[in-house]
Structure 1
């Protein structure tokens, strides 16, 4: 485990809390591994019937720590396998997953929600998928799942233009179950998780399995993963991350 991810089991609910608020819960490799471990243990533990994700501070998560991506773009490291492991793990979880999202949910902070079964948003939530802005491609099968959920036009705008979707828009688009004041968010999500613990676990697992095309999701994750790794080594990616570090607009016009 890492000090930036807290796990707690109570009443049949495993609560996984991202605790790096000073960095907007930006995800390090250690955090990804801790969350993957928690999911794997939850699947094997009969006392856990539901998994709940939440984040401390004013953001759900800023997504992948961009310092990791930047070092990879400079050729200083390998692709962040802990991130891929988390994506692969969450996509295969058979138990219900609930998410409580406040503030910004960036990158994987949004795409992981497509693998959750109930999503509750604070009224200040914003879903952001800035992959193209970083010269990358979508991940977590979101290039298929997001258009499937909200339509091509809105999904393309989120990906290609990096346009945020606010909480009201996410609710109207079918990405969330409810929008509540931030002060009520955790209770709303926890109450839903507790309600699920009272349903027959076998029926819940089979229902989730029937509602998800697991082979299609796995194939999309694999295809995205290959392209993602390739994109991290391109001059466009190096320019994107250099511009981010230098706090300027990237210039892709000559690349």
Structure 2
């Protein structure tokens, strides 16, 4: 009859054998899983490279398709193609930067209804929501006066107000105002002016230090009719 010591030793050996067997299976499974994952990632990478190569090979066709969508004002579909150009680092292909800028501005005007309610935070949020690669352009929006607005000389001084925005900040205080009749009118986000009688093309020019942007509006200054003079307070 084996001694207790021998029996105990056999039990230890069996336990160790089971332990190492389980450990070996776990390690083996881990190696297989890692290998499978590596093979899968490699296959995915090969597939991505294949798709990229196909895109590059047919890039002119994709660009022509983009132009057709852009000219048809189908901007949502155009943006989907632009994202692919960005993905494969072809964001500067031909005049794609200009197209992106125009689409981006279109959506800004549409979402803000091009009314005098635009603020820097809204502008920057919308720029990101549109999901087109950001640029360093400066956009200028004239809040007042409205296009085609008429003023009498008795309305002087007239308030001009605009904003100059970029993804890097608000540059409205540096806006330069000009008139095709009276020349430079002043500088700032808000100015008051007295203009000569006539049809004025008013231009607001802003810059972020890298690029410049501008917007124009047209107003009419007229001398008040004689029959109104008696109603105008001196």
Give TM-score, length-normalised by structure 2.
0.26
Larger RCO: 1 or 2 (CA < 8 Å, sep 6+) = 1
Q: Which has the larger radius of gyration?
A: 2
Give TM-score, length-normalised by structure 1.
0.25
Structure with a larger share of its residues in strand: 2
